Amino acid sequence: MPLRERRKVTGVEKIGPYTLVRIDQGNLDPGIPGQFFMVEAPGRVLPRPFSLCLAEAGELAFLIDAIGPGTLAIAEVSVGDQLHVFGPIGNGYRLDVERPVLVGGGIGVAPFPFTRSVLGAGTPVVLGFRNAHFAEAAALLPGAEVVIDPVLVTEAIPDDHDILACGPEPMLHAILRDHPTAQLAWEAPMACGYGACFGCVVEIDGTLKRLCLEGPVIGGAPPVFPAVPA
């Protein structure tokens, strides 16, 4: 059940180039792995979407890749600050699969510590990063197989597994080519997260749909993103 709450920051930790921001859980439900939360930093007008990275000991945590003003404002919070959080929302991964493998690229590692805590510590994980600094995030998933560019994470996926993946668009398309039943978490810019703004509209199976409602996790045909004006 999604809730909107203002929660206190309980920890801020650098992990390679990323920042792990912990908040006091309050009444928030962690939801299903792959669902997301809209998180708004103090003084900002628009929230940003984030996967839940960890849910443990009365805390929720988000792993932030600070790429612009919204993510930067969240990565720069201090313990004791308050974040406005809304979720869990969207469609998560189906977990009733026989042989799951978690496949993450870059910041796509974010949902998998929580996912593995639900599926079981023995769930195999393969992660790909652009260099060793980014690969420090693999510490969140002990025992994961880690590859670094130019080796591609798709080369490390074990055979005969049910793929749950999150990562950059080219990685998701490459997985889909060889594994049409993979469950993939897609991204689009999202301003509201609950179907009101139409900012996240993509084409799925020939129909325009809002990714915040139909996704972010989709199995089968990939969404078609609107062309970005040059």
Ligand X SMILES: Cc1cc2nc3c(=O)[nH]c(=O)nc-3n(C[C@H](O)[C@H](O)[C@H](O)COP(=O)(O)OP(=O)(O)OC[C@H]3O[C@@H](n4cnc5c(N)ncnc54)[C@H](O)[C@@H]3O)c2cc1C
Residue 2 is a binding residue for ligand FES (CB under 6 A): no
| Cross-strand pairs, 7 | 83
Comparison of 88 and 100: residue with beta carbon closer to ligand FES: 88
By a kind-dependent CB cut-off of 5 to 8 A, residue 139 interacts, out of ligand FES, ligand X, none, with none
Which stretches of 25-81 are assigned E, i.e. beta strand?
36-40, 48-51, 54-56, 59-64
CA angle (30 as vertex; 27, 34 as ends), nearest 5: 155
Q: Which does 48 bind (CB under 5 to 8 A by kind): ligand FES, ligand X, none?
A: ligand X
For residues 36 and 62, the answer to whether their CB atoms sit within 8 Å is no
Q: Is the peptide bond before 150 cis (omega within 30 degrees of 0)?
A: yes
Nearer to ligand FES by Cβ, of 5 and 194: the residue is 194
Asked if residue 115 binds ligand X (CB under 6 A), the reply is: no
- Chain positions 183 to 222 lying near ligand FES, rule: CB under 6 A, are 190-193, 195-200, 210, 212
CB of 85 to ligand FES, least distance (A): 16
- Asked whether 116 and 104 are in contact (CB, 8 A), the reply is no
Q: In this complex, which beta carbon is closest to ligand FES, that of residue 158 or of residue 195?
A: 195
- Least CB distance from residue 61 to ligand X, whole Å? 10
Cβ proximity to ligand FES: between 118 and 197 the closer is: 197
Cβ of 188: how many Cβ atoms within 10 Å? 17
Find which of ligand X, ligand FES, none residue 157 binds, CB within 5 to 8 Å per kind: none
Q: Given CA atoms 149, 154, 157, 159 in this order, what sign does their dihedral have?
A: negative
Phi, psi at residue 188, to the nearest 5°?
-145, 155
Footprint of ligand X on this chain (CB under 6 A)?
36, 48-51, 62-65, 67-72, 107, 110, 187-190, 216
